[in-house]
Amino acid sequence: MATQGFAPGVVTHSASDPNGILVNDGAARSFMVVTLLSGENRPAGALLGKITTGGKYKLSTTGAADGSQLPTNQAVLMEACDATAGDKLCLVCLTGGVDYARLTVGASWTAALLKEAVAKYGLHIHNSYTIG
């Protein structure tokens, strides 16, 4: 799922999901290449929030006051991204089903709180389950 060569914006994405983040729940999926804020180093599955000023993304926490805490600004990082040395482009999932057990969420987000907050914006949080 390399994002090299992409500019920020909506992209068409058809690669596999080696990190098992996506859930095939029939919901429409959308992906975008965004800018991870300098100083952030996040694993695949990190719940990111968009900062209102500047539009860059960082790990989302409910207690933030920069816009990254808003339900409308949430996205799930699809591949590990290390921006410790400077801003970096990365691929995120904006809408569709994701497995909560595969997510890395900031302090104060719970599965129930996140599920309720983002559902009306097209991001669907599911709990892991086993069939069989």
Give this prediction's pTM. Answer: 0.85
For 38-60, the DSSP string reads TT-EE-TTBEEEE-TTT--EEE-
CATH number at residue 55: 2.40.300.10
Q: Is residue 1 part of a domain?
A: no
Domain with 109 in it:
20-126
Residue 71 belongs to a domain: yes
Give the distance, in angstroms, between the CA of residue 9 and the centroid of all CA atoms in the same chain.
14
Q: Tens digit of pLDDT per residue, the chain (132 long)? A: 444 444 444 433 444 688 889 988 888 899 999 999 999 999 999 999 999 999 999 999 999 999 999 999 999 999 999 999 999 999 999 999 999 999 999 988 999 999 999 999 999 999 875 443
